[in-house]
Amino acid sequence: MLWDLFSTFLMIGFASFGGGYAMIPVIEVEVVKHGWMSTQQFTDIIAVAGMSPGPIATNSAIIVGYKTAGLAGATASAVGMTLPSLLIILLVASFFYKFNQTKLVKSAFYGLRPIITGLIIYAAIRFAISNQVIGTMSWQTLSLMLIFAVSLLALRKRMHPILVIALSGLAGIVCFA
């Protein structure tokens, strides 16, 4: 079990680009495929991991490992998830300084942007569907869409994210309490 957790999260860490939110769909597929938990349980874990300090992918790996095999599972998952980043950063840092301005490197990073954005949007839509946020149109769905749209507009207008979060929470209280 510990080897499965370590090797799975090691593979995810090596194969995923774009940060924690872009890794969520990959983690979900592996967690459900191994039978460690259901999609709904994983969605709940992502909610906790997202609210916890630290990177969401590492937090979710730790929680999955802990739920699966206790403290040893959490440790195996955390090491598996973070080891690729450490190794890649050490390797890239030794070469990147020399090559960061080349057209090939710039083009590669530019080409990765759309897929990373797509993975993040895909994760958001999957969680919205699994939590019944998206589904039949109701006043609640419309309220959520309005809160989302106003929050997005506020962030584009450079309103501080903490203020946007607080105001969204207050809007949720008004709409759903």
Q: pLDDT tier at 62 (50, 70, 90 boundaries)? A: very high
**Is 38 within a domain?**
yes
How many folded domains does the chain comprise? 1
**Is 171 within a domain?**
no
| Euclidean distance between CA atoms 177 and 171, whole angstroms | 10
**Is 162 within a domain?**
no
List C-alpha distances in Å: 6 to 48, 73, 82: 21, 8, 10
- Single-letter amino acid, residue 5: L
Q: Is 1 a residue whose pLDDT tops 80?
A: yes
**Is 43 within a domain?**
yes
Range of the domain at 84: 2-101
pLDDT digits (tens, 9 = 90+) for 107-119: 888 888 888 888 8
Q: Is 138 a residue whose pLDDT tops 80?
A: no
